[in-house]
Amino acid sequence: MKIALFFLFLFQFCVVSAQDAISDSDMDSLDQLISDLLESSKKEQKQEKKQEKQAVQPQKNEKTKKQEVKPAKVKGKKLIVIDPGHGGKDPGTISGKLYEKDIVLKLAKKIEKLSKNYKNIEVRLTRDKDVFLALEERAVIANKMGGDLFISLHANSFPKDRNIGGMEIYHLDNTRDEYANKLARVENKISENASLLGTILVDMDISYYVGDSLDYAKEIGSGLKKDLKKYGVKLRGYEKGALFYVLVGARMPSLLFEIGYITNKTEKDLLQKDEYLESIAKSLLDSVSASKVK
Ligand SMILES: [Zn+2]
């Protein structure tokens, strides 16, 4: 597998090297990105072997047919593609009977429903039911729809310390931040396609969107901080970047939004309340609607 990956890399690298338009700084950041990706890919493979025995089998009735994705851009409106993380055989993080895949889907649907109140916003979802989508498919769907902003929704967990809680917003970056990289490895766990490496090499312009992604993160983050103050939920950070596979390949500003810790009692309770999810949805839509990012 590693050898195959290496040759894929080598082949893609040769193809890319042949193009004249790539600057040295592009190549440097690309090298960094690739080495980070290969490193986390190696660790994931070890991890996967360990977990193979416990792997959850796909449900028999799970749909494998891919639905056709159509462009969804409406003139004069900003198209937000909301990606409820995980789904189907991949439950995400679990606490008791609460599954990450279910909470984020519920929130996504609320965002979609509430968006009808905003004249300048259109919302589409990458999945609207409990189905499995590979990480790399998600950005592809957003690209096909012609999104202006891609937001992947997740929930966090930290069983070792149930006092830990709060929200986090990340954008795609090859930061060296230890925590962010560790989290990225957790969220990147299920990826069934090595062609992602090719995607990165073809998508030389991911850094082009980093500035806008960070601006959106700041606007949404400071909005949530203000709007959710009454619930006592912390904003742990919204200016961090990390190498999240799900964001790689999105040709638009993209964010990964960790909506809270389901291992934290207060947040677990809140995340099961419609009113709380609606507050998150409204705050997010208010920020995007008023955003300075074009
Ligand atoms: Zn997740």
119-150 confidence digits (pLDDT tens):
999 999 999 999 999 888 898 899 999 999 99
CA angle 205, 127, 252 (to 5 degrees): 15
The pLDDT-based confidence of 107 (bands split at 50, 70, 90) is very high
Tell me, what's the pLDDT at 274?
A: 98
**Residues within 5 A (CB) of ion ligand 1:** 85, 92, 154, 187
Tell me, what's the pLDDT at 204?
A: 42
pTM strictly above 0.85: no
Distance 102 CA to ligand 1 centre (A): 11
Tell me, what's the pLDDT at 208?
A: 65
Indicate if the pLDDT at residue 172 is higher than 80: no
235, 260 contact by CB (below 8 A): no
- Could you tell me how many residues make up the chain? 294
Distance 187 CA to ligand 1 centre (A): 5
Indicate if the pLDDT at residue 189 is higher than 80: no
Distance 271 CA to ligand 1 centre (A): 15
Distance 212 CA to ligand 1 centre (A): 23
**Percent of the chain clearing pLDDT 90 (strictly above):** 52
Rounded to whole angstroms, what are the CA distances from 285 to 109, 117, 257, 282? 13, 10, 14, 5
Q: What is the mean pLDDT of residues 91-110?
A: 96
Q: Which residues contact 199 (CB under 8 A, 6 or more apart)?
A: 136, 248, 249
Cα separation, 241 vs 168, whole angstroms: 11
DSSP 144-160: HHT-SEEEEEEEE--TT
Q: What is the mean pLDDT of residues 262-266?
A: 96
Domains of the chain, first to last: 2-11+25-45+77-289 (3.40.630.40)
Distance 86 CA to ligand 1 centre (A): 6
Cα separation, 121 vs 99, whole angstroms: 29
Lowest mean pLDDT among 35-44, 141-150, 251-260, 264-273: 35-44
- Which is more confident, 259 or 42? 259
φ, ψ (nearest 5 deg) of residue 278: -65, -35
Q: Quote the tokens at residue 266.
A: 């207060």
Distance 13 CA to ligand 1 centre (A): 31
Tell me, what's the pLDDT at 26?
A: 43
Tell me, what's the pLDDT at 155?
A: 96
Give the model confidence (pLDDT) of 219-230 as tens digits.
999 999 999 999
Tell me, what's the pLDDT at 84?
A: 97
Distance 58 CA to ligand 1 centre (A): 18
Cα separation, 161 vs 139, whole angstroms: 33
φ, ψ (nearest 5 deg) of residue 240: -90, 145
Distance 204 CA to ligand 1 centre (A): 26
